[in-house]
Amino acid sequence: MPISFTRVTWYSQIVAIVLFLIVWYVGFCVGRYWVSPGRQLAEPPLAPAINAAVFRCDVPANSFISSVFYGDRVSLTLSNGRRITLPHALSADGARYANADESFVFWNKGNTAFVTEQGTTTYDGCVTK
């Protein structure tokens, strides 16, 4: 029996359905792992929180630092709306958290804290109340 490409048969319909499903499945799998330029991958989830505190600061006036402490990092929300997560860094006294180039550092000792940015203290006199 010669093959005719202009006639619809039961096996040509089955082949079309199978090809459609394969193309759809491959597209779905590739689409799940493809990252377009405008889309960023989510950060990996943090371990359960160990503690949380809100520090009220004197400088700038009426400012605050909201902090959530994890085993090896801290997640901060500043009163100006900025959010940053910092890994634990080496310190002689208290807890120190800093980004890779140390341009943003959060220090905490007891119920006090302060933030330095580019070597300048931007949040100071911060105390939990």
**pLDDT of 34:** 61
Q: Are 65 and 113 in contact (CB under 8 A)?
A: yes
pTM of the complete model beyond 0.85: no
**Rounded to a whole number, what is the largest CA-CA distance in the chain?**
90
Please report the pLDDT score of residue 37 as a whole number. 61
* CA distance from start to end of the chain: 89
* pLDDT tens digits, one per residue of 68-111: 999 889 999 999 999 999 999 988 888 999 999 999 999 999 99
108 bridge partner residues: 95, 113
Domains of the chain (ranges, CATH numbers): 51-128 (2.40.128.200)
